Amino acid sequence: MWLAGAAGARGLGHGHLLGTCRRILARSSSTAAAGKAATGARKEEEESLLETQSGALYKDESVHTPAVIKKLGWDPESLRVKDATNFNRWALIPAATLNHMCIGSIFAWSIFNTPLTRLSGVVAPAANDWLLGDVTVTFSLVMGGFAWGAVFGNRLDTYGPRASCLLGATALASGYICAGFSASIESLPLLYVAGTVWGISNGWAYVPPVSTLVRWFPEKKGFASGCAILGYGGGAMLTTSLYGPLTETFRKVPEYAGPADSLDFVNQDGKLFLDSAEGLREVVVATKLDLQSAGLAEIADAGAYFVGTGSTGVAEVFTALGLGYGLTMVATSMMFRLPPHGYAEAMQSRIEAETQMAAPLPAGAGATPEDAQEDKKPVTVPNITPAESMQTHHFYLMFLGFGLSITPAYGLISSGKLMMAETFGSNLPNIVTAGFTSSFVAAMSMANLSGRLFWPTASDVLARYSGGNPFYARKNTYLAMWALSPLCYAGVYWGVHECVREPSVLPLAVFTGSFLTLLTSFGGTTASRPALMSDAYGERSMAVLTARQLSVVLPAAFLGPQIVAHCREASTHSAIEELSTHVDDGAFHHAFGADKNVLPELIESKTVTISRLMDLVPAGVQDPTPFLYDNAIVVLGGFSAAALCTKMMLTPPYKPRK
């Protein structure tokens, strides 16, 4: 009955199906008795395995579905459709994609770095403003929320996709709103609390839509997981398009004090002040590059601005995005349903029937259809429990490889906009504008998105046409992705240095292409993971194991951004110390209200910056800004090379059965 139902859902009529069965039976009648016995024993064993496990969700008997979820009809059994022929499984794809676009909005974090590090100064960082390394911790906490999936992984299947995604929606909206409030009162601890709450949405709402699609599309696992996860990569594109209009609505330029060279500054504890009728008032000095990076070059002039008189608008932007994304996730979660029991087996039987119907009879006497099709038969991976899976060293080798691969990608994502502005802004100012860097963030999202669709689909095609164990097709796909990464880091490094030597569009194009290819590989790495886990350990525990694998995001998302921030900060200090030696002592004192002997204090208070020193040094002195990320690029490239080595060592955890 189920086979006929599944066939009807795909246009295979009952009469056509019966004809196929007769043809298969006719072929089987030509098989020798011994072959029949062996084949029958094998098929009986396979059917027994499928019948006992039937692709059922892994369920931890110690975890029970809360009564309120059952009462609302959101538990897994209540969400199962009765007849798959009357349900359009393709309608679940846009719901899952949109859900992931909401939680994937964190990938646009680099657009928030500049306003969050200028909450008081707005046009330039003030002394009490946060550092890049301070605010990227929030990005790490949000991405590290995947660890919640490892903690609550056994509840994801028990609660069901609808309840899990509703919990994720609540966490996402609460985190965004809390982040907005922390920015309005400039509380860094509260910003970290917001990141922690925000990250819970990754733990609860990331895996359930993916596993739901994989169960509805058992014959297209890579495609199904890619369709959902591509939304996660595309979230930054949506957020970037919303960020500009929202920022223009809520932003306020601070009070202008005048051109810097016409003012007499007073320096106290490294901070700059101006004497006014209201007493000493703190100011920041913004150069043209500062205004360009803040997106204010067209509406503000270079010079001094009073601290605390303007607003970046980021608090209101966070609040608006949180409300919008939260409501969207609530709507999409109500669309999730689960397939009936036995659906995956019925789909597999239908595919086998179509394959046998299309295959020509082998020529020559004595040849049997079973022998001809033996090499192309799909393999069956034991559906084992998560506890058994985690006893294999392969699980931890995959865990390590994923961590080494995604760590550098998180470093790039957290600072992508700022990196583009600082490495090319001074050499190609007419091209790399504020609008260009915002478009670059959108391009980063598109690359991430395309990788999440292309690479899993490519692994599906490779698995389908290579035959045998699909695990090797997944592994070869990963080898291709990860082999590209070290080469791309070399391209990023070359592009920066070549543009300094000879400014042109070519180095920018090489940098951009290499950078985006890295994010394409990152997207493919994350999107192909569910299919790899399914082929390695079986579908039964796929959701739980994927959630536990995702816990590696916590250290990776913290380490990657911190590597970039630390290397940039160290290079910035060294560059400032070097540039200050080229500045006349009198000009230095006039500009900063203090002598060079207090340079460390001036650096700490953000009074002395590279952009301000470049206005004071003699002509011909090289601007060090493009080289601030050199050390970071080298370190990140080393991580990607190590990840490639782990994948080369990986073998299937279990020998599959035909």
> Within this chain, do residues 560 and 578 fall inside the same structural domain, yes or no?
no
322-326, 335-339, 352-356, 638-642: segment of lowest average pLDDT: 352-356
Model pLDDT for residues 568-603, shown as the tens digit of each residue: 999 999 999 999 999 999 999 989 989 999 999 999
Q: Which of 283, 306, 329 is the last residue of a domain?
A: 306
Instruction: Based on the fold, state whether residues 422 and 569 are members of the same structural domain.
Output: yes
3-state secondary structure of 267: strand
Whether residues 592 and 465 share a domain: the answer is no
My answer on whether 483 and 512 are in the same domain is yes
CATH number at residue 548: 1.20.1250.20
pLDDT at 312 over 70: yes
For residue 535, what pLDDT is reported?
Answer: 81
Q: Cα–Cα distance between 116 and 120 in angstroms, integer? A: 9
Q: Which residues in 548-560 are b (16+ Cβ under 10 Å) and which e?
A: bbbbbbbebbbbb
What pLDDT is attached to residue 380? 52
Residue 397 lies in a domain: yes
Q: How many CB atoms lie within 10 A of CB 273?
A: 18
265 and 171 share a domain? Answer: no
Closest CA to 226 of 403, 93, 117: 93
Q: What is the pLDDT of residue 59?
A: 52
- Residue 63: what pLDDT? 60
- Rounded mean pLDDT of 193-210? 92
Q: Which of 13-27, 64-78, 643-657 has the lowest mean pLDDT?
A: 13-27
What's the pLDDT band for 352 if we cut at 50, 70, 90? low
21 in any annotated domain: no
What's the average model confidence in pLDDT over 510-539? Answer: 88
Section 536-557 average pLDDT: 80
Is the residue at 8 inside a domain? no
User: Is there a single domain that holds both residue 132 and residue 193?
Assistant: yes
Rounded Cα distance between 64 and 79, Å, is: 16
Last residue of a domain, one of 306, 324, 348: 306
Q: Which pLDDT belongs to residue 148?
A: 78
- What's the Cα-to-Cα distance from 435 to each of 182, 547, 593, rounded to whole Å? 27, 37, 35
Average pLDDT on 640-648 reads: 94
Residue percentage of the chain with pLDDT more than 90: 50
- pLDDT average, residue stretch 465-490: 88
Same domain for 497 and 485: yes
Given a cut of 70, is residue 448 above it in pLDDT?
yes
Residue 6, domain member (yes or no)? no
Q: Residue 14's pLDDT is what?
A: 39
Which residues are CB-contacts of 517 (< 8 A; sequence separation ≥ 6)? Answer: 447, 484, 488
Question: Domain for residue 81, yes or no?
Answer: no
641 in the same domain as 619: no
Highest mean pLDDT among 296-300, 404-408, 650-654: 404-408
For 263, the token pair is 């003012």
Q: How far is CA 298 from CA 301, 423, 430, in A?
A: 8, 21, 13
Least Cα distance to 539 among 96, 215, 290, 144 occurs for 215
Residue 358: count other Cβ atoms within 10 Å of its Cβ: 8
**Mean pLDDT value across residues 309-315:** 95
End-to-end CA distance of the chain: 25
Structure tokens at 220: 């297209």
63 within domain boundaries: no
The whole-number average pLDDT for the span 341-370 is 60
What local confidence, expressed as pLDDT, does residue 114 receive? 92
- pLDDT confidence tier of residue 628, bands split at 50, 70 and 90: very high
208 pLDDT more than 60: yes
Distance CA 497, CA 504 (A): 12
Per-residue pLDDT of 59-93, as tens digits, reads 555 567 888 888 888 888 888 988 888 889 999 99
- Do 394 and 300 lie in one domain? The reply is no
Highest mean pLDDT among 321-325, 435-439, 452-456, 463-467: 321-325
Q: What pLDDT score was predicted for residue 456? A: 85
Q: What domain count does the chain have?
A: 3
Residue 589 sits in the same domain as residue 492: no
Token pair in block for residue 48: 């027994």
Q: Which has the higher per-residue pLDDT, 372 or 124?
A: 124
pLDDT the model gives residue 449: 84
Residue range of the domain that includes 286: 256-306
pLDDT confidence of residue 537: 81
Tell me, yes or no, whether 99 and 172 share the same domain.
Answer: yes
Query: Is there a single domain that holds both residue 487 and residue 421?
Result: yes
Tokens of 251: 């932003």
**Has residue 658 been placed in a domain?**
no
Residue 281, both tokens: 């008032």
Residues contacting 338, CB < 8 A, separation 6+: 76, 79, 80, 81, 160, 161, 212, 215
Q: Which two tokens stand for residue 395?
A: 């699980």
Mean per-residue pLDDT, 518-547: 82
Percent of the chain with pLDDT over 70: 84
Higher-pLDDT residue of 555 and 465 is 555
Residue 185 placed within a domain: yes
Give the pair of three-digit tokens for residue 128: 């009490």
Say what the pLDDT of residue 358 is.
52
What confidence category does residue 119 fall into, taking pLDDT thresholds of 50, 70 and 90? very high
What is the tens place of the pLDDT at every residue in 262-300?
Answer: 888 999 988 999 988 888 999 999 998 888 888 888 888
